[in-house]
Structure 1
Amino acid sequence: MIHETHPEILKRLRRAHGHLASIIRMLEEQRRCLEIAQQLQAVVNAVDNAKTTLIHDHIDHCLEQAIGPVPQDRRASLQEFKEITKYL
């Protein structure tokens, strides 16, 4: 099933793919470690953001499809669950 966030996730992963290709070239060109580390961090951030977006999308759509609509008075617990996923 394709969700509305999938294009955003693909964009983030393509960005990470581009950064990774740059890192490979940088290593082959024997560039400075600081530059390489910065690019590696960009890859990690892009993948982490894609993962978080995917998990939140799953909570928002797939979880509610499985258990049914979440009443308004229980939405705070669901939001807290989404917040805690950033520590995965």
Structure 2
Amino acid sequence: MFVDREAVTLIEDNKPKILSRLRRIEGQVRGVARMVEQDRYCIDILTQTQALRAALARIEAMLLRDHIDHCVRSAFSSGDVEDQGRKIDELVEVLQRTAR
């Protein structure tokens, strides 16, 4: 698969926010593991896993917005039809995976 090296660095503005959120999620996952080890009430564990899923969805939304704001916008402003097609294909693919 084609990797746009420019796109890899375009989330620099959001990188600290994303890393902070991921570290928070990492702590939440450890907390859920402790809950399982301690035989906590199933609904309490499910509530925490739902919170984890929501937190990951927020990170996905940030990354998707960055990709559209930077990579997709750049492809369309460049006039490069092949790059535009790749960006559209990437978006369709990732949205299809998300819908599963």
Q: TM-score, normalised by structure 2?
A: 0.63
Q: Report how many residues are paired.
A: 72
Cα shift at 1:2: 4.3
Q: Of 40, 57, 69, which aligns to 2:66?
A: 57
Q: Of 28, 47, 51, which aligns to 1:42?
A: 51
Structure 1 stretches of 4+ with a deviation exceeding 6 A read none
Cα shift at 1:35: 1.3
Return the alpha-carbon distance in structure 2 between the equivalents of residues 47 and 25 of structure 1. Answer: 20
Greater CA deviation, 46-55 or 10-19?
Answer: 10-19
- Residue 67 of structure 1 corresponds to which residue in structure 2? 76
- Residue 32 of structure 1 corresponds to which residue in structure 2? 41
Q: Over aligned residue pairs, what C-alpha RMSD do you find? A: 1.8
- Residue 82 of structure 2 corresponds to which residue in structure 1? none
- Deviation string 1:23-81 (CA, Å, 9 cap, x unpaired) is 10100010111211111011101100000110011101111222217xxxxxxxxxxxx
8 Å contact kept, 1:12–1:50 = yes
SS of 1:31's equivalent in the other structure is: coil
Q: Give identity over the alignment, percent.
A: 36
8 Å contact kept, 2:10–2:66 = no
Unaligned ranges ≥5, structure 1? 70-84
- Residue 31 of structure 2 corresponds to which residue in structure 1? 22
